[in-house]
């Protein structure tokens, strides 16, 4: 009797995927999802939650947060370690053939659309940023559950409990040129000031090069 290995096993399939990425010089793209509030433990029972998300690639994580200046609100941190949030899970989104320098340039151009003072919990939050990055690089959006509450809130703000509307989500850019005051607008959610763990991306003006789209 002659036995043959199972070519369709999950382990061999995963190994083949990894080998394919190496051959094509592809880097995996992850969505790191965090809880903004302990209320998520109850909201998740209804298929919703209040989440922060960041894109992990090339050993760094990129996210979008609010501050009070008309400058980039896009920042980078150590993966799965965004300060002020509770890490929940990572989702493999796909892969990219961009090198680290190419991806960094891509983010610098994209950050011109995501200034800190334009952050809005419903219409322009961190999940909108990660969704755009994912869509541009993989052709697919992030999982719908990550930003579902914002979509529901766009129809009815009363769906967002008060405890969520005052959640702080602030990162401040390095070396601000003027003093900072607290923002009382309920839809500006500012992250705690940077302690060295958060580095803001300096935006680049001009259109994104076609080869990086």
> How is 16-73 classified by DSSP, letter by letter?
HHHHHHHHTT-EEEEEEEEESSTTHHHHGGGT---EEEEEEETTEEEEE-B-SSSSB-
Q: What CA–CA distance (Å, rounded) separates 108 from 83?
A: 22
Catalytically annotated residue among 82, 109, 126, 188 = 126
DSSP H or E run through 75: strand 74-77
User: How crowded is residue 78: how many other Cβ atoms within 10 Å of its Cβ?
Assistant: 13
Would you call 126 a catalytic residue per the annotation? yes
Provide the CB-side half-sphere exposure for 148 (13 A, CA): 11
For residue 95, what are the β-bridge partners?
A: 28
Catalytic entry in 52, 115, 171, 188: 52
**168 contact partners, CB below 8 Å, separation of at least 6:** 84, 189, 190, 191, 192
Q: Is residue 158 annotated as part of the catalytic site, yes or no?
A: no
Residues with a catalytic annotation lie at: 52, 126
């Amino acid at each position: 009797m002659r036995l043959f290995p199972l070519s369709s096993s999950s382990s061999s399939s995963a190994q083949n995927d990894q080998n394919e990425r190496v051959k094509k010089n592809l880097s995996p793209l992850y969505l790191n999802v965090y809880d903004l509030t302990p209320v998520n433990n109850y909201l998740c029972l209804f298929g919703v939650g209040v989440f922060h998300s960041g894109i992990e690639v090339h050993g760094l994580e990129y996210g979008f947060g609010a501050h009070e200046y008309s400058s980039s609100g896009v920042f980078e941190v150590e993966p799965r370690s965004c300060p002020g949030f509770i890490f929940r899970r990572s989702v493999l989104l796909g892969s990219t053939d961009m090198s680290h320098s190419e991806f960094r340039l891509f983010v610098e151009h994209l950050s011109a659309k995501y200034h800190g003072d334009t952050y809005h919990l419903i219409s322009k939050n961190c999940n909108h940023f990660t969704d755009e990055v994912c869509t541009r690089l993989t052709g697919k959006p992030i999982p719908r559950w990550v930003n579902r509450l914002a979509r529901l809130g766009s129809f009815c703000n009363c769906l967002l409990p008060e405890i969520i509307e005052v959640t702080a989500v602030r990162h401040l850019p390095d070396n601000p040129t003027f003093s900072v005051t607290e923002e009382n607008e309920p839809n500006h959610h500012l992250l705690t000031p940077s302690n060295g763990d958060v580095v803001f991306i300096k935006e680049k003006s001009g259109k994104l090069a076609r080869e990086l789209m």
